[in-house]
Amino acid sequence: VKRDAKKSGRSGKDGGKDQFEESQPKALSEDEEEEKPKKRKKSNSSTSSSSSSLSDSSDNKKSKSKKEKKKKEKSKKEKSKKAKDSKKGGRKQTEQMSMETSTHKQFSGSPSEVALLRYAAHLVDLKFMRSQYETIFEIPFNSLRKWHLVIAKLPDEGKKGKASFIVMMKGAVEKLIEMCSTYALNGEEEEIDDEFRSDCDEMNYHFGSEGRRVIGFVYKKFEARADTKFTQEEENYPLEDLCFLGMAAIMDPPRDDTAKAIKACKAAGIKVFMVTGDHPITASAIARQIGLIGKADEVKHSHRKIQMNVTEEEDNDSAIVHGETLLDLNDEQWDELLSKRDIVFARTTPELKLLIVEQCQKRGEIVAATGDGVNDAPAL
């Protein structure tokens, strides 16, 4: 959901379509066609046919010009009204932009990064954008921080002896929103209040419940000495009073054979656990898509409590657990949790993934682990 969508312009196909239609010559309406013979009758009978034709053409142009002028004025008023309405209740006027990016092969790397780059390539000139921002400092994403930070030097000069910089971050929405005091709307910054936070939580939940990975974006421009050396230890860069730009929802669908493989494991008496860094809402949605857990009437998630979810099948109960709770569990609670047939562990770190394996082995279980990233290395 891009809250500053109006500033960035129309998106994709819609924007191109609007511009194309506005440039086309407009056919005369039925009213205008009827006016033509009437105006000819009113012209002086002694006037030659050529001057009559010119007069008629002139009248039509004037009539058409008046109607187009009225139409433009009406359009202008409507745009002005929309701008005022969005400023008053901008929180509710979120604009969604979506695009299929899987057909473009010019990027490679992390699936989430590639999806964002492909999307951005449809909206801006990536080469030009990068030329405007000289990256001078970076903190990579990790599962503990749950955000990625970049500081770039801006082309415009700051005050004497100083330079202009911009800090840009992306990551978990719930982490980034806590660092922000304003949000972007129609080219301006509005103060964040409880209603806006609630709106963000609602949209985060909405996209997460559809199995999408949700990524938030924030930034802040600031000035510092031109020779400043930014370091992670000193944190000599802004990490508060940032501006929230919006969020992106990325769909990375499971492989077609995943559900079949899980079903085969269950039939063989193997317990299947899903261990992920994703938000609990996203994790539970994906778990349902692949048949790991059933369709429950209601699932509640908590950062502090384990929520057991008894599905429609009485003999197939499952649990959805936020990683933050695992370090607080005693042996009895671990026994209760691991007795569940299917478990989804969300918002886990590499250390927590290792802890899950160790707790299973401690109870005499034979454990097989799969993974494709550095975060999975300790557990593997």
Q: Which CATH class is domain 258-376?
A: alpha beta
pLDDT band (50, 70, 90) for residue 333: very high
Task: Tell me the pTM.
Answer: 0.62
Dump the DSSP string for 261-279.
Answer: HHHHHHHTT--EEEE-SS-
* Residues 154-194: tens digit of each pLDDT: 887 666 778 899 999 999 999 999 999 999 999 899 999 99
The residues spanned by each domain of the chain are: 5-17+32-92, 132-250, 258-376
Domains 132-250 and 258-376 share a fold: no
Amino acid 260: pLDDT: 94
Residue 209 has pLDDT above 70, yes or no: yes
Contact call for residues 182 and 189 (beta carbons, < 8 A)? yes
Higher pLDDT, 126 or 32: 126
CA nearest to 114, candidates 106, 122, 126, 123: 106
Question: In the predicted model, what is the mean pLDDT of residues 268-281?
Answer: 92
For residue 5, what are the contacts with CB-CB under 8 A and spacing of at least 6? 11, 95, 97
Q: Hey, which CATH number is domain 132-250, 3.40.1110.10, 3.30.70.3170, 3.30.420.40, 3.80.10.10?
A: 3.40.1110.10
Could you please report the per-residue DSSP string of 345-359?
A: EES--HHHHHHHHHH
Contact in structure between 250 and 115 (CB atoms under 8 Å): yes
Q: Label residue 2 by pLDDT band (50, 70, 90).
A: very low
Which of 74-83, 160-169, 248-257, 288-297 shows the lowest mean pLDDT across its residues?
74-83
Amino acid at 168: M
Residue ranges of alpha helices (H) inside 89-125 are 111-121
Q: Which of 26-40, 208-222, 267-281, 342-356 shows the lowest per-residue confidence on average (mean pLDDT)?
A: 26-40
What is the arithmetic mean of pLDDT over 66-70? Answer: 62
Long-range contacts, 255-263 (Cβ 8 Å, 24+): 258/290, 259/289, 259/290, 259/291, 262/290, 262/291, 262/292, 263/291
Closest CA to 340 of 283, 281, 274, 280: 274
> What is the tens place of the pLDDT at every residue in 19-45?
333 334 444 444 544 454 444 444 444
